[in-house]
Structure 1
């Protein structure tokens, strides 16, 4: 089963979790410091809440969660063949999960990801290693976690689901 993902920035994670738990009659599927996600059955939705004080009520990014890596790779091929620029992240650790994903950007600059979760992680993300052998600085690593740095909403702000 595929489902749409909606990632929102929230000012206060606790109050947002309480509200969305009531609205969707569901508890979070995953809760970590500054992060929560809901796997809503009806309607099929992956709701991601990212604590980002001062940016609450804004869109962080959108996505489509699919069941497997072959589906992600099929989307990479399909989107590339259609002429869209894709940014691929294979076996990346992001949002407390190891994922395969591909990013595309809509005409009005909304970032979309098609992804599958390979496993859970105890860390928000992993900083990639630059060609120089150095790790990306922590404040930039979070932006890299969710595609291009322009997906970040504020310096050091988490950005993905």
Structure 2
């Protein structure tokens, strides 16, 4: 069963961990000096926050697959959307070894589709380094479009 993924950049990790732990009534399943993640079951979501990157707010959205069959199905759907697909293959990102690809929607929102292979002890290559070097593939959470082009996902009003 697939899991929705949201990654948010925050300014103050301890303050945000305290807030989201209360909001979700759950402690993070993984916490590092610059990163925290909740693997929630209700709703089924992989919610991550980090101090990495630029600015604050929603960085990217995604879908986490449980196995390679689900990931292949997601890849097929992304290819059928007539958008450029960035295939990172196996990579290290957000303290996990994973297999992933990216697609950007018509508004420039990066969508990550991935499956986690195992835990990693390093975050991965930073977005700012990737952008400086003009590299998207293999860059941790760089997405199909650099953040400098697409920017964070922001709502124009206070409601949905």
The change in CA–CA distance for 1:85 and 1:55 in structure 2 (over 3 A counts) is same
Moved over 3 A (4+): none
Structure 2 gaps of 5+ residues are: 150-160
Q: State whether residues 103 and 144 of structure 2, in contact with CA within 8 Å, keep that contact through their aligned partners in structure 1.
A: no
**Distance (Å, rounded) in 2 between the aligned partners of 1:120 and 1:61:** 21
- In structure 2, distance between residues paired with 1:83 and 1:54: 29
Aligned-CA RMSD value:
2.6
Structure 2 residue aligned with 1:67:
66
Structure 1 residue matching 2:55: 3-state secondary structure? coil
**Distance change >3 Å, CA 54–CA 145, structure 1 → 2:** closer
The match for 2:120 is: 121
Determine the C-alpha separation between the residues in 2 that align with 1:53 and 1:95: 12
Query: Shift in Å at residue 84 of structure 1?
Result: 2.2
> 1:39 is matched with which residue?
39
1: CA distance, partners of 2:54 / 2:102:
26
Segments of 5+ residues of structure 1 without an aligned counterpart are: 128-137, 154-161
Matches of residues 10-159 of structure 1 in structure 2 within 5 Å? 10-52=10-52, 55-56=55-56, 58-125=57-124, 139-140=129-130, 144-146=139-141, 147-148=143-144, 150-151=146-147
Paired residues, number: 143
Distance 1:51 1:124 in 2: 11
Distance 1:111 1:88, change over 3 A: same
* Distance (whole Å) between structure 1 residues aligned to residue 52 and residue 12 of structure 2: 8
Give the distance between the partners of 1:93 and 1:102, measured in 2 at CA: 13
Deviation (angstroms), 1:108 = 1.0
Hey, what's the Cα distance between the residues in 2 that align with 1:107 and 1:119?
A: 32
Q: Per-residue deviation at 1:73?
A: 2.1
